[in-house]
Amino acid sequence: MKMKLLKNVMMEYSPPTWATLIGVVFLLLTVTLSMYLLFDHLSAYKNPEEQKFLIGVVLMVPCYSVESFVSLVNPSISVVCEILRDCYESFAMYCFGRYLVACLGGEDRTIEFMEREGRSVIKAPLLQHHHHHSSHNKGTVIHPFPMNCFFKPWKLGHAFYQVVKFGIVQYMIIKSLTAITAVILEAFGVYCEGEFKLGCG
């Protein structure tokens, strides 16, 4: 009886309707959990230097879920939704970077920590370098292949911190500019997502 009822319900609704219903369930779930976590942080706002950036990261979840649901319901505006999501994603990346720095006690203390880690490898005994490969790489950042063929490993310190900081800001700017460019191309009808053609961007 139950199986027959379930079969009748499934026959009544088309697959897109089922997708919408499932999307609504997950949308409500993610928004509810995110809002609970958000209000939990705001009600215990005792460490603003860390929490303000953490809130920016938490808001990424409802942003993604709302964008996905709106794109599912109305595919014609999915490009605009994705562009707005990309802009917020770059901001969330910035918030995450700042959150990590705040957890370490701010920029000055982060740089001091990195410099201390970099010096600890130099002070380590020679035999320790051979027996413990992990401690040998503790104060350095080794590039993945094939970049390690062209660049020397980075030592943790002020220079490394500035490079990482520049990289995060650069990501924000480039991601936002490409999103704005996509809006302009979409307005002129020459935006082709996921396609490489000379006639469109």
Structure tokens at 188: 């002129």
Distance CA 108, CA 94 (A): 18
**pLDDT band at residue 1 under the 50/70/90 scheme:** low
Tens of pLDDT, residue by residue over 52-101, are 999 999 999 999 999 999 988 888 888 888 888 888 999 999 999 999 99
* HEC letters along the chain: CHHHHHHHHHHHCCHHHHHHHHHHHHHHHHHHHHHHHHHHHHHCCCCHHHHHHHHHHHCHHHHHHHHHHHHHHCHHHHHHHHHHHHHHHHHHHHHHHHHHHHHCCCHHHHHHHHHHHHHHHHHCCHHHHHHCHHHHCCCEECCCCCHHHCCCCEECCHHHHHHHHHHHHHHHHHHHHHHHHHHHHHHCCCCCCCCCCCCCC
Q: Among the ranges 18-27, 29-38, 41-50, which has the highest mean pLDDT value?
A: 29-38
User: Which structure tokens are listed for 179?
Assistant: 């999103």
The answer to whether residue 38 scores a pLDDT higher than 90 is yes
CB 121 within 8 A of CB 140: yes
Q: What is the mean pLDDT of the chain?
A: 82
Q: Which token pair is 124?
A: 């380590």
In the block, tokens 């996509």 appear at 182
The model's pTM is 0.74
pLDDT (0 to 100) of residue 6: 52
Q: Give me the percent of the chain exceeding a pLDDT of 70.
A: 80
Domain ranges of the chain: 13-123+139-188
pLDDT of residue 27: 94
Q: Could you tell me the sign of the dihedral formed by the alpha carbons of 145, 151, 156, 158, in that order?
A: negative
Q: How far apart are CA 87 and CA 182, in angstroms?
A: 12
Confidence (pLDDT) at 190: 80
Give the separation between CA 30 and CA 61, rounded to whole angstroms: 7
- Spatial contact of 71 and 78, defined as CB atoms under 8 Å apart: yes
